[in-house]
Chain A
Amino acid sequence: DAMVIQNPRYQVTQFGKPVTLSCSQTLNHNVMYWYQQKSSQAPKLLFHYYDKDFNNEADTPDNFQSRRPNTSFCFLDIRSPGLGDAAMYLCATSRGHMNTEAFFGQGTRLTVV
Chain B
Amino acid sequence: AQKVTQAQTEISVVEKEDVTLDCVYETRDTTYYLFWYKQPPSGELVFLIRRNSFDEQNEISGRYSWNFQKSTSSFNFTITASQVVDSAVYFCALSGSGNTGKLIFGQGTTLQVKP
Task: Look across to chain A and name the residue whose beta carbon is closest to the beta carbon of B45.
Answer: A104
Whether the pair A97, B107 counts as a contact (CB closer than 8 A) is no
Known: A101-B50, A103-B47, A104-B45. A42 touches B106 (CB 8 A): yes
Picked from A43, A102, A107, A109, the residue with its CB within 8 Å of the CB of B101 is A102
Task: Look across to chain B and name the residue whose beta carbon is closest to the beta carbon of A106.
Answer: B44
B105 at the interface (CB under 8 A from A): yes
- Smallest CB separation, B35 vs chain A (Å): 7
**Given the complex, which residues of A lie within 8 Å of B71, measured CB to CB?**
none
A70 at the interface (CB under 8 A from B): no
Task: Look across to chain B and name the residue whose beta carbon is closest to the beta carbon of A97.
Answer: B99
A90 at the interface (CB under 8 A from B): yes
Interface extent on A, as a size class?
A: 20 to 34
Task: Look across to chain A and name the residue whose beta carbon is closest to the beta carbon of B110.
Answer: A40
Q: How far is the CA of A70 from the CA of B49 in the complex (A)?
A: 29
Among B84-115, those with CB < 8 Å from A are 91, 95-96, 98-103, 105-108
Whether the pair A43, B99 counts as a contact (CB closer than 8 A) is no
Picked from A31, A48, A90, A99, the residue with its CB within 8 Å of the CB of B52 is A99
**Given the complex, which residues of B lie within 8 Å of A31, measured CB to CB?**
100-101
Question: How many residues on the B side are at the interface (Cβ–Cβ under 8 A)?
Answer: 25
Q: How far is the CA of A100 from the CA of B105 in the complex (A)?
A: 15
Among A1-43, those with CB < 8 Å from B are 31, 33, 40-43
Task: Look across to chain A and name the residue whose beta carbon is closest to the beta carbon of B29.
Answer: A98
A88 at the interface (CB under 8 A from B): yes
Whether the pair A98, B107 counts as a contact (CB closer than 8 A) is no
Whether the pair B43, A98 counts as a contact (CB closer than 8 A) is no
Known: A42-B91, A48-B102, A94-B101. A99 touches B50 (CB 8 A): yes
6 A-B pairs, CB-CB below 8 angstroms? A55-B100, A92-B45, A99-B52, A101-B47, A102-B47, A104-B37
9 new A-B pairs (CB below 8 Å) besides A48-B102, A50-B100, A100-B101? Answer: A40-B108, A41-B107, A43-B91, A45-B103, A90-B43, A98-B32, A102-B47, A106-B42, A106-B44
